[in-house]
């Protein structure tokens, strides 16, 4: 049984040298644990599952089968990045499932946040389990569990980790970063050669844009949200805020207001900017964004994104507002 307790003597991994030593040790341990068997991994493209994938590819190559389920609620370009990095650059055994229609059809007309989350979580497991059943000879399930998940096992991640697979699907777990803190996972990810943007990706909730396309999701509003969010990220990147702000995104509510575009009445949705700083996501403060940049972002979103006619800024710290709107 592998230990789930971080030894007091374990040094914090802060340098490439320490990361490489950790990688060498894990490669040995993984090979020992797995032998010549196959390992399955749900690869979301988030930091933890990506680093686990890269470690396993280094240790056992094609014995790892990665499944990336695109639930249609990813940020712009994120599924593409998973395919490029893992399918192409690292030549991994990657199964890509575009399940967009399944998720969006199930979510049609569902406005209640908890119900939306449950549908997304349950369908994710269903799609993943269906794929797993098609594969032969899988003995292990790899997971991107990190040390804070073990310490707060009732934490936010419980929603979306693959812990809820059907009972007849029993796999032994491979959790190579389970004793690491997030900052250490990132150092290890960089040492493994993953792109900086992937390793320093912001936290992204399991239900993805589903909890930011507020109320009942429609494809047109989801599209507008994804485009507006991409502009916000691009501008934060260009203006040095990406490394400074812990989490930033757009939410689009299910309401319209009146505007004018090209001298015509133009009813559209508002795009709400949320940019917060926090250390543990339990409380959060509001990041000050320079007004000139806010004007520029507003200008771009209202001109470039179909369906959006206003941009608003959420100034609410947590508490009382949670970070996500739903
Ligand atoms: P709230 O909205 O509760 O969010 O202030 C705190 C942090 O958790 C993220 N979040 C999730 N992360 N699965 C996740 O892995 C989820 O279902 C989920 N819901 C919220 C949120 O983005 C924020 O960073």
Which of 66, 100, 99 is CA-nearest to residue 85?
66
Q: Is the pLDDT of residue 290 over 90?
A: yes
Domain 212-313 belongs to what architecture? Answer: 2-Layer Sandwich (3.30)
Could you tell me the pTM of the whole model?
0.93
Token pair of 214 as six digits: 């507020």
- What mean pLDDT do residues 263-273 have? 98
Work out which ligand 1 atom sits closest to the CA atom of 160.
13
Ligand 1 midpoint to CA 163 (Å)? 17
- Looking at domain 16-199, its CATH superfamily turns out to be HUPs (3.40.50.620)
Residue extents of the structural domains in the chain? 16-199, 212-313
Q: Structure tokens of 97?
A: 């499932």
Report how far ligand 1's centroid is from the alpha carbon of 125 (Å). 18
Ligand 1: which of 314, 323, 325 to mutate, judged by most atoms within 8 Å of the beta carbon? Answer: 323
**Is there a common fold for 16-199 and 212-313?**
no
Pocket of ligand 1, beta carbon within 6 A:
156-157, 159-160, 203, 205-207, 247, 281, 318, 322-324
pLDDT tens-place string over residues 176-196: 999 999 999 999 999 999 999
Q: Whose CA is nearest to atom 14 of ligand 1?
A: 205
Q: Are 308 and 228 in contact (CB under 8 A)?
A: yes
The partner residues of 69 in beta bridges, in order of sequence, read: 97
Taking Cα atoms as reference points, which of 8, 71, 185, 214 lies closest to residue 222?
Answer: 214
pLDDT tens for 49-108 read 999 999 999 999 999 999 999 999 999 999 999 999 999 999 999 999 999 999 999 999
């Amino acid at each position: 049984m592998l230990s789930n307790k971080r030894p007091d003597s374990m040094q914090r991994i802060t340098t490439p040298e320490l990361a490489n030593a950790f990688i060498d040790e894990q490669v040995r341990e993984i090979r020992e644990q797995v032998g010549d068997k196959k390992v399955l991994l749900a690869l979301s493209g988030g930091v933890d599952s990506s680093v686990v994938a890269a470690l396993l590819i280094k240790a056992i190559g094609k014995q790892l089968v990665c499944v990336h389920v695109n639930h249609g609620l990813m940020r712009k370009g994120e599924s593409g990045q998973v395919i490029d990095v893992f399918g192409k650059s690292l030549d991994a055994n990657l199964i890509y499932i575009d399940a967009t229609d399944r998720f969006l059809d199930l979510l049609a007309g569902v406005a209640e946040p908890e119900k939306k989350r449950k549908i997304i979580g349950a369908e994710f497991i269903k799609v993943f389990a269906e794929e797993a059943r098609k594969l032969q000879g899988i003995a292990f399930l790899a997971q991107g569990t990190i040390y804070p998940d073990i310490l707060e096992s009732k934490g936010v991640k419980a929603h979306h980790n693959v812990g809820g697979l059907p009972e007849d699907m029993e796999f032994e777990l491979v959790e190579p970063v389970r004793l690491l803190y997030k900052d250490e996972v990132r150092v290890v990810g960089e040492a493994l050669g993953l792109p900086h943007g992937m390793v320093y990706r912001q936290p992204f909730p399991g239900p993805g844009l589903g909890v930011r396309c507020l109320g009942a999701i429609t494809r047109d509003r989801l599209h507008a949200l994804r485009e507006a969010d991409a502009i916000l990220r691009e501008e934060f990147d260009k203006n040095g805020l990406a490394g400074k702000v812990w989490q930033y995104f757009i939410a689009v509510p299910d309401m319209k207001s009146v505007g004018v575009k090209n001298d015509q009445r133009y009813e559209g949705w508002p795009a709400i900017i949320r940019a917060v700083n926090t250390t543990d996501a339990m409380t959060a403060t509001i990041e000050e964004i320079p007004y000139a940049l806010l004007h520029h972002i507003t200008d771009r979103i209202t001109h470039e994104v179909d369906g959006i006619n206003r941009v608003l800024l959420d100034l609410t710290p947590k508490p009382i507002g949670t970070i996500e709107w739903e």
